[in-house]
Amino acid sequence: MEKELKLLLPLIHDVSVVTLNDFRFHCGTLNDHEIIAMQCGIGKVNAAIGTLTLIENFHPALVINTGVAGGTGNASILDVVIGEEIAYHDCWCGPGTEWGAAAGCPPRFRSVPQLVELPLFNDKPHVKKGLIASGDIFVSKKDEVDHVLNLYNGALAVDMESAAIAQVCHLKGVPVFIMRVISDTPGGEDNIAQYENFWTDAPAATFNLLKELIQLL
């Protein structure tokens, strides 16, 4: 989110901006780490192009993605979901293939296990670990949520970018870590209002964890 990016940028020192493929990359240092911060935009194509541009031009040791996601009922608004596993809910390559498996890829991608298991993410009621399901639709109806849960029982969240980012990282051999804050409960009577009204508190929910994570790396 732009609000997340604006919280992060003041912490980065000696920032320079590079524009590639219409993405703005903010390059600097934070806690002795070289940091490249960018906003990928909405949807799988934007996420994939942004991630590939990042990797091919800056060769990061780790890609961290944060943003928003819809809840499936297994996580509440403003909960932070750590993407222990990430999968597509709208990908099937035909007979003989497993649902969710893009060609040449596993059916599920994984965030770096050593980071998922950091004490930072333990014993926090608002932090949950599990599967994030991605697809190129804004999930807003109960039957759409039910479809995802039929595919991935226990899935915590749905979004439009995480699996694409994870797939590019998998193909390029770059470790990835994904966490999302729950914005709304698709299918609920007031889910659109939830989505529109949560933006003030949401950026801080992931930003504070992101800042602590970078300090531990």
Residue 167: inside a domain, yes or no?
A: yes
Residue 164: inside a domain, yes or no?
A: yes
Residue 12: inside a domain, yes or no?
A: no
Residue 123: inside a domain, yes or no?
A: yes
Active site residue 184: yes
Question: Which residue is catalytic, options 2, 184, 201, 212?
Answer: 184
Residue 18: inside a domain, yes or no?
A: no
pLDDT at 193: 55
Question: Which residue is catalytic, options 4, 84, 85, 161?
Answer: 4
Q: Look at residues 7, 138, 156 and name the one whose alpha carbon lies nearest to residue 82.
A: 156
d(CA 131, CA 154): 8
Where does the pLDDT of residue 183 fall: very low under 50, low under 70, confident under 90, or very high at 90 and above?
A: confident
pLDDT digits (tens, 9 = 90+) for 4-50: 788 889 889 999 999 999 999 999 999 889 999 999 989 999 999 99
pLDDT digits (tens, 9 = 90+) for 109-128: 999 999 999 999 998 999 99
pLDDT at 54: 98
Residue 2: inside a domain, yes or no?
A: no
Instruction: Say whether pTM exceeds 0.85.
Output: yes
Query: Mean pLDDT for the chain?
Result: 89
**186 in Cβ contact with 142 (< 8 Å):** yes
Residue 43: inside a domain, yes or no?
A: no
Q: How many residues are present in the chain?
A: 217
How many structural domains comprise the chain?
1
Where does the pLDDT of residue 187 fall: very low under 50, low under 70, confident under 90, or very high at 90 and above?
A: low
pLDDT at 83: 97
Residue 127: inside a domain, yes or no?
A: yes
CB neighbour class for 68 (10 Å; exposed up to 12, middle 13-18, buried from 19): buried
pLDDT at 12: 92
Exposure on the CB side of residue 101, measured as CA atoms within 13 A: 12
| CATH value at residue 182 | 3.40.50.1580
Residue range of the domain that includes 117: 63-216
- Torsion sign across C-alpha atoms 34, 40, 44, 46: negative
Q: What DSSP element (H or E) covers 134?
A: strand 127-134
d(CA 124, CA 53): 34
Where does the pLDDT of residue 58 fall: very low under 50, low under 70, confident under 90, or very high at 90 and above?
A: very high
